Amino acid sequence: MRKVIFNLVAIFAMISLGNTAFAQYKDDDMVRIYRWLSNNNEFVTLAEGEIQEGQLLQWHYKEKTFLFYAYKTPANDRVAVYRWTNPVTNDQVSIAEDELTDSDMNLKGYTLKSLQFYVPVRRSQNHVAIYRWYRSKTKDWVTIPEFGDTDKYTDKGYKMKTFQFYGIMRNEYER
C-alpha cells in the first residue's frame, strides 16, 4: 500500500514539475522593456538586464518606467530591435530592423549598433503600438506606448511621432 501511495505522489510531483517547467519556459523568452532618463536628460529604452540596474543608478539614471514586454530570441513574425548610440551627443535610440538603414543611422551620427530584443511584426491580442517621438532642440528620441502620457512629452517639445513596432502587454499574473 505504501508503495502505491509513494508511486502516486511521485507521478503527481513529476506532472507538477513538468507543468511548472513548461510555464517557466514561456516566461524565459520574455523580457521587460524600460525607459530611463539619463544623466544628460535624454531618454533611453533598455531591456531588463541589458545594462545592470546598479550601473545605471551609478551613472545617475532615473525615472525607470516600464513600457512593454518583448522577446529575447528570434522567431517567425518577429523583428530585431537595435540600440544605436551617438558618441557626440551621447544620445541613444532604439530602432527596429529595416526601420532605418544602417547608412541612414551612420549619416545621423549614430554608431555602436547593438541588439536589444525582438518584437512582433503584426498586431494581435495583447499587443500595443509603440511610437518614437523626436525633440529637434536636443536631438533626443523617446519611446512611448500608444497609451503613454503623450501630453507630458509634447509639453517638453517632442514631436514627429513615428510608429515603430508592436510591444506585448501582459498581466503580471499570467505566469
pLDDT per residue as tens digits for the range 53-80: 999 999 999 999 999 999 999 999 999 9
Model confidence over 87-109: pLDDT tens digits?
888 889 999 998 889 999 999 89
Query: What pLDDT score was predicted for residue 24?
Result: 35
Stated as kind and residue range, the H or E segment containing 8 is helix 2-28
Model confidence over 111-167: pLDDT tens digits?
999 999 999 988 888 899 999 888 888 878 888 888 767 777 888 888 888 899 999
Residue 71: strand pairing partners? 30, 118
Query: What pLDDT score was predicted for residue 158?
Result: 86
Rg (CA), the chain: 20
Rounded Cα–Cα distance for residues 32 and 48 (Å) = 5
Higher per-residue pLDDT: 110 or 24 = 110
Query: What pLDDT score was predicted for residue 41?
Result: 84
> Which among 87, 85, 122 has a CA at the least distance from the CA of 95?
85
Query: What pLDDT score was predicted for residue 104?
Result: 92
Query: What pLDDT score was predicted for residue 61?
Result: 92
Residue 87 cell numbers, joined: 558618441
- Mean pLDDT check: name the lowest of 12-21, 89-98, 163-172: 12-21
Query: What pLDDT score was predicted for residue 12?
Result: 54
Structure confidence at residue 14 as a pLDDT band (50, 70, 90)? low
Write down the residue that cell numbers 557626440 correspond to. Answer: 88
Tell me the DSSP string of 115-152: EEEEEESS--TTEEEEEEEEETTTTEEEEEETTS-HHH
Whether the model pTM is above 0.75? yes
Write down the residue that cell numbers 518614437 correspond to. Answer: 132
Query: What pLDDT score was predicted for residue 5?
Result: 55
